């Protein structure tokens, strides 16, 4: 982390080149059951979803994860509410 965005070919290649022992993959599932790598279950901060509110605005949610995580996502979009094809229409930030 730091040289490349998380879960990209660049980050994996760089880690391999630097001699890491293993890479942890955070897996989320799309609406159509396809596994994708993403640390967070949401896409607000990693995509241009706000540029597509006309198409996906109705999927905005507020979710929270209780102890021990204490994560709260406000006005965000959850990966499992999108098909892989829909996610591919978004650009990375």
In the chain (93 residues long), the average pLDDT of successive 10-residue segments reads: 75 89 89 92 94 97 86 94 97 82
pTM of whole model > 0.85?
Answer: no
What pLDDT score was predicted for residue 1?
Answer: 56
What is d(CA 31, CA 84) in angstroms, rounded to the nearest whole number? 8
User: Prior bond to 68 cis, omega within 30?
Assistant: yes
Do the Cβ atoms of 3 and 11 come closer than 8 Å? yes
């Amino acid at each position: 982390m730091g040289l490349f965005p998380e879960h990209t070919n660049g980050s994996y290649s760089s880690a391999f080149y630097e001699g890491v022992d293993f890479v942890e993959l955070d897996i989320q599932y799309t609406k159509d059951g396809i596994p994708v790598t993403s640390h967070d279950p949401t896409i607000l901060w990693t995509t241009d979803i706000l540029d597509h509110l006309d198409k996906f605005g109705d999927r905005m949610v507020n979710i929270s994860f209780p102890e021990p995580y204490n994560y709260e996502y406000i006005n965000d979009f959850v990966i499992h509410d999108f098909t892989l094809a829909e996610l591919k229409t978004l650009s990375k930030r």
